Amino acid sequence: MSVRCPDCGAVAGYGYEVGHKSDCPALRRRPRTTLTDGRQIYPEHRNLKPNGQQNDYVVLAEEERAKGFVRPVRRSYKHLKCGTVTTMGQTLAETYARDPNFYSGTFCCGCSSHFPVGENGEFVWDGTKEKVGT
């Protein structure tokens, strides 16, 4: 998904900062993001592998996650539609804990696909009734 930056007019994908003009105010407002392993985000990160997962996932950068969390760091969630519990990596879990609204969807290992999170989403944190992304 691409959006036009209201500040500098550049077209950029979600979490993809390349393309903004160097003096764009949006770059100063948004927290820095990277891929789960700390690498720079590249456009093809959203391409899907044969198992349905993306090539890579965007997370809040290490220095942003180091500021602390507003929710507990939880790694496992349950898909309400199929009952499968999926466990994510630590950097993804810390991004959810720092900014619960960062993602619009997540992956289900049982269905091999991505589905919405949030108040109307399809996932709860494992062992709770709390919706992922809220």
Q: Which residue has the tokens 């900014």?
A: 99
Q: Which of 89, 96, 92 is nearest to 121 (CA)?
A: 96
For the segment 36-51, the average pLDDT, to the nearest whole number, is 95
Average pLDDT of the chain is 87
- Going by pLDDT thresholds of 50, 70 and 90, the confidence category of residue 27 is low
- The answer to whether 17 and 33 are in contact (CB under 8 A) is yes
Token pair 């979490």 is at which residue?
A: 15
Residue 55 has pLDDT above 90, yes or no: yes
Q: According to the model, what pLDDT value does residue 30 have?
A: 76
* Region at 99 (left for phi over 0; alpha for psi -120 to 50; beta for the rest): beta
Q: Is pLDDT above 50 for 17?
A: no
Is pLDDT at 50 greater than 70 in this prediction? yes
